[in-house]
Amino acid sequence: MSDAPDCTTDDFELPGVPDPFQRLWTPHRRAYVSGGQQDYTESSCPFCAAPRRTDEESLIVHRGRSVYVVLNLYPYNPGHVLICPYRHIAQYDETTDEEMVEIGECTRTVMGVLRESSHAAGFNIGMNQGKVGGAGIAAHLHQHVVPRWNGDTNFLPIVAGTKAVTQTLSEIRELLAEAWPADPPSGQVTADGAPEANPAARASQG
């Protein structure tokens, strides 16, 4: 018997060969990712504009001292949030120590919030750096936190190009905001994105 490899395999059968990867298919995001969204200046950047609006208008879940948490308008899964610095910076190594620490704190907190509010079973967490790294808005740093559940890669997005989301983004924002732990008294941020002074500190200065 010959040990030569079987050369009769039809190459078109190869995509059906099982492999160890699980794929979260999101065809609805293609127009956004490939639509030239990357070259925002600070004056036109949606991540700079969002904190100047109300939480409800911008779908902001939490405002911190140096970063804020906002729902993704084009989510991979319900509850997909972005953690963004207020400053218009593009790269992670441009963050200040405060921004770096608060990105980590918000990541930890939102994981707990998503587990509590929607029973998330796992997470995808990460940043796409630069156009070649796949960033949709490369000019403004943002970290993705995507909740995952068993069976969330079902047939709908693969066969029908449809992602089933049973709640509106506004409803999800309200759910997550209500579940977010209360800030300490010194950690308030106003709608224009500027931190508000600690009321106790103001009183002591008066």
81 in a structural domain: yes
* Whole-number pLDDT of residue 27: 52
The pair of structure tokens assigned to 168 is 């509106």
Which of the residues 62, 80, 140, 142 is marked catalytic? 142
Would you give the DSSP letter of residue 76? S
49 in a structural domain: no
* Whole-number pLDDT of residue 198: 35
Query: Contact at 8 Å (CB) between 165 and 159?
Result: no
In which region does residue 20 sit, left (phi positive, over 0), alpha (psi from -120 to 50) or beta (all else)? alpha
Query: Contact at 8 Å (CB) between 156 and 162?
Result: yes
The pair of structure tokens assigned to 160 is 């029908």
9 in a structural domain: no
Residue 24 amino acid letter? L
Structural domain count, the chain? 1
Mind listing the pLDDT tens digit for each residue in 137-195?
Answer: 889 999 999 999 887 765 444 444 445 556 789 999 999 999 999 875 544 454 455 45
* Whole-number pLDDT of residue 20: 53
Q: Sort 146 into a burial class: Cβ within 10 Å, 0-12 / 13-18 / 19+.
A: buried
Measure CA 23 to chain center: 18
Mind listing the pLDDT tens digit for each residue in 30-80?
Answer: 544 554 455 677 788 999 999 999 999 999 999 999 999 999 988 888 999
Mean pLDDT to the nearest integer, 10-23: 47
Mean pLDDT to the nearest integer, 97-116: 97
185 in a structural domain: no
To the question of whether residue 124 is assigned a binding role by annotation, the answer is no
Mean pLDDT to the nearest integer, 6-19: 47
142 belongs to the catalytic site: yes
66 in a structural domain: yes
**What pTM does this model have?**
0.69
Q: Which domain holds residue 111?
A: 54-179
* Whole-number pLDDT of residue 69: 98
Residue 8 confidence (pLDDT) above 70:
no
Rounded Cα–Cα distance for residues 25 and 71 (Å): 19
Rounded Cα–Cα distance for residues 171 and 92 (Å): 31
- 173: CATH: 3.30.428.10
The SS3 of residue 69 is strand
32 in a structural domain: no
* Whole-number pLDDT of residue 38: 54
Would you give the DSSP letter of residue 65? S
* Whole-number pLDDT of residue 74: 85
The pair of structure tokens assigned to 190 is 């106003």
Query: Bigger pLDDT: 30 or 122?
Result: 122
Residue 9 confidence (pLDDT) above 50:
no
To the question of whether residue 88 is assigned a binding role by annotation, the answer is no
Rounded Cα–Cα distance for residues 48 and 170 (Å): 20
188 in a structural domain: no
